[in-house]
């Protein structure tokens, strides 16, 4: 009986662990993203809006790979699947989609932080 209960508990734990967050990427706050940008290096800031939206203003040093262009093929702008990638869009919907697609392609450190429409940090236009 003890073995059965232990196995049942382990199975339940695995099931709920899988529900804790979206598979493959982490959602972080904009404050956490800003802190990473200030204190760390070696990350990529990925704007997944359209080229026109990007040209209208973006987070400094961000690269633009529109969500619609992310499919099954690894984007050439993101050659290192182990590099930290901070993903945003306008409101947060496309960044979640893009983050999941990247995670599904094997990227190991994808962090989604919502949309530029609520970003309190610096922005720049091309």
Residue 115: in which H helix or E strand, if any?
strand 110-115
Query: Catalytic one among 33, 89, 99, 102?
Result: 89
Which residue is associated with the tokens 């947060």? 92
Q: Are the CB atoms for 78 and 46 separated by under 8 Å?
A: yes
- In three-state secondary structure terms, 83 is coil
**Sheet of 85-89, strands arranged across:** 25-27, 110-115, 85-89, 44-47, 63-64
Contact 60, 116 (CB under 8 A): no
Note if 89 is an active site residue.
yes
Residues tagged active-site: 89
């Amino acid at each position: 009986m003890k073995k059965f209960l232990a196995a049942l508990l382990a199975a339940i734990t695995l099931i709920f662990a899988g529900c804790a967050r979206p598979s493959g990427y982490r959602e972080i706050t904009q404050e956490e993203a800003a802190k990473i940008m200030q204190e760390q290096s070696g990350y990529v800031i990925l704007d997944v809006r359209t080229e026109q939206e990007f040209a209208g203003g973006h987070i400094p040093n961000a690269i633009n790979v529109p969500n619609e262009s992310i499919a099954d093929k690894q984007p050439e702008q993101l050659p290192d699947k182990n590099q930290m990638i901070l993903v945003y869009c306008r409101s947060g919907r496309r960044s979640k989609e893009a983050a999941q697609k990247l995670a599904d392609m094997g990227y190991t450190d994808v962090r989604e932080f919502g949309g530029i429409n609520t970003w309190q940090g610096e922005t720049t236009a091309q």
